[in-house]
Structure 1
Amino acid sequence: MASGSAIRGSRVGAGPMGEAERGDAAPRVWISYWCANGHETRPSFAEEAAEEAPVTWDCPRCGFPAGQDQENPPSPSKNEPYKTHLAYVKERRSDEDGAAILDEALAALRARRGG
């Protein structure tokens, strides 16, 4: 059986309800941004901050950058494909360098093993 002192319809720690208790909301401005896929995003900004709105905004649907010019949206950034450790090593060393290092390491290993 539930306690008789529980307040029904509210959560513990719930604050006051209504605009009168929280104060007036700042006036808002919605700015449209378009991505290369034609998606429109309309984030809202306070009127005071609308002059300082960012030039680009990330599209929440596809992740591409979106700009305020619908006819010329920013182009998607070029992502480099994932490179393995071996690919980075091959960029720094030639095949001859790799063979020389391998021969040196095998010689050191054989010397330790006495072979």
Structure 2
Amino acid sequence: MAGGSAIRGSRVGAGPLGEDERGESAPRQMVQYFCARGHVTSPSFAMGDEGEAPEIPLEWDCPKCGFPAGLDADNPPEPIRNEPFKTHLAYVKERRSEEEGEALLAEALDVLRQRRMAIADS
């Protein structure tokens, strides 16, 4: 068995094979998507068998800014609004009014004072 290279017949810097070796490329359809910042993205989609139109997504992520891009240039989709992280206190304030918070705090302080008095008396 003779030694050899797994990439026999190739050399460093060799370019890609031509269509003769690869076969013909599938027909493609270019589609333009428009984002809210005015960028235009043009991905291409392979046509189906016998030239039928490919299934084209309604939205595509803009590679420049990451915003969603749509098919309508005059009305691009709005960017997704990320809500900032809420603290535990923010969630509590959504559930309780200021007066309820004051009442709960007063009750908790009374319990704490009673415990301290019980410990001091012992």
Question: What is the RMSD computed on CA atoms of the aligned residues?
Answer: 3.3
Task: Point out where structure 1 has 5 or more consecutive residues left out of the alignment.
Answer: 11-16
Matched, 1:88 2:91: yes
Correspondent of 2:66 among 41, 63, 67: 63
Q: TM-score, normalised by structure 2?
A: 0.62
Matched, 1:72 2:75: yes
Q: Are the counterparts in 1 of residues 61 and 69 from structure 2 also a CA contact under 8 Å?
A: yes
Which amino acid in 2 is paired with 1:40? V
Deviation track 1:53-104 (CA, whole Å, cap 9, x = no partner) reads 1111121211222111223322333443433222221111111111111122
* Structure 1 residue 35, shift from structure 2 partner: 0.6
Structure 1 or 2, whichever has the larger Rg, is 2
Q: Are the counterparts in 1 of residues 46 and 54 from structure 2 also a CA contact under 8 Å?
A: no
Task: Point out where structure 2 has 5 or more consecutive residues left out of the alignment.
Answer: 9-15
The 1:33/1:111 distance shift into structure 2, 3 A limit, reads same
* Structure 1 residue 51, shift from structure 2 partner: 3.8
> What's 2:37 paired with?
37
Identical aligned pairs, as a percentage?
58
